[in-house]
Structure 1
Amino acid sequence: MKFEKSCGAIVYRKTQNQIDLLLIKNRYGGHWSFPKGHVEGAETEMQTALREVKEETGLDISIQDGFRQAVEYFPKPNVRKQVVYFLGEAQSVEFKMQEEEISRIIWTDIRKAYHMVTFKNDKNLILVAGKRLR
């Protein structure tokens, strides 16, 4: 069994009346999710998450203390993948899309985001993040 590890972030911004999440649409799979990517070299989980968010969206984020959620799944036979997510507040709202991997990026209300994400793991992450942010 091969093991893969990625890290990413649930990126948010607070406006006057709501919490928005940043969603990306994967160019190849066509699914809505969060920015993430493989750990490189001796990076820590948090360094990977910060780098991947910056590479995929152009955003700098501030990681919130005490939020680390890991999900595991099997993307293909004999491959177990773990993805560690942090909760990160966007330090700006203007994003710059990495066009090689991503076809769209949007800010959307957290309630809409729940219905837009493709995978059950992502829906669960939104519920946990929402409780933390409220």
Structure 2
Amino acid sequence: MPQEFSAGAIVFYRNTVGEIEYLLLHYKSGHWDFPKGHIEKGETEEETVRREIEEETGIKDLILIPGFKESLKYFFRQYKDKIKKEKAKPKKTPWVFKMVKFYLAESRIKEVKISWEHTGYEWLPYEKALERITYKNSKEILKKAEELLNR
């Protein structure tokens, strides 16, 4: 079974009154999630996080927060053809096992320049971010990040 390993971050920003806002990206496939990407050969997870955040958002000033590292494990299947004709059925590829390591990172800037991989972004307070995130496992990671930041 093919495997993929990625790293990403729950990126947050403290606004002028000290409230925390979380960065969510809107992916072309329609879901909302945190920025993440494949770990390249010879790269550490932390290097991947910094590179991917910069590539996907333009943010360079990340401060990784010690004591936070969460893993997501799941299976997915991509489709080779994304033809949207009524009778055309996309060809399925094999199942892929994916593991993503998430870090917690603070940004001192709020300006975002999204990459071609995304259609939008939002900085949201915790409750609204929790509602907006598409996947349950990502919601659980956001809950853990919020707990750590509110200790």
**Normalised TM-score (structure 2):** 0.84
Runs of 4+ that moved beyond 2 A: none
Work out the CA distance in 1 between the residues paired with 2:46 and 2:18.
Answer: 29
1:129 has 2:130 as partner: no
Match of 1:117 in 2: 133
Partner letter of residue 124 of structure 1?
E
1:94 has 2:95 as partner: no
Match of 1:81 in 2: 98
Decide whether the 8 Å contact of 1:59 with 1:91 is kept in 2: no
Work out the CA distance in 1 between the residues paired with 2:48 and 2:5.
Answer: 10
Work out the CA distance in 2 between the residues paired with 1:14 and 1:112.
Answer: 16
Pair 20,85 (structure 1): closer, same or farther in 2 beyond 3 Å: same
Work out the CA distance in 2 between the residues paired with 1:73 and 1:26.
Answer: 18
Residue 39 of structure 1: how far off its partner (Å): 0.6
3-state secondary structure, aligned to 1:41: coil
Unaligned stretches of 5+ residues in structure 2? 78-93
The superposition leaves residues 69-97 of structure 1 with CA deviations (integer Å, 9 ceiling, x where unpaired) of 01000012431100000000002111111
Work out the CA distance in 2 between the residues paired with 1:97 and 1:17.
Answer: 25
The share of aligned pairs that are identical, in percent, is 39
Matched residue count: 132
3-state secondary structure, aligned to 1:59: coil
Larger radius of gyration: 2
Match of 2:20 in 1: 19
The superposition leaves residues 97-119 of structure 1 with CA deviations (integer Å, 9 ceiling, x where unpaired) of 11x20000111111100010000
1:69 has 2:70 as partner: yes
Decide whether the 8 Å contact of 1:9 with 1:49 is kept in 2: yes
- More strand by proportion, 1 or 2? 1
Partner letter of residue 82 of structure 1?
M
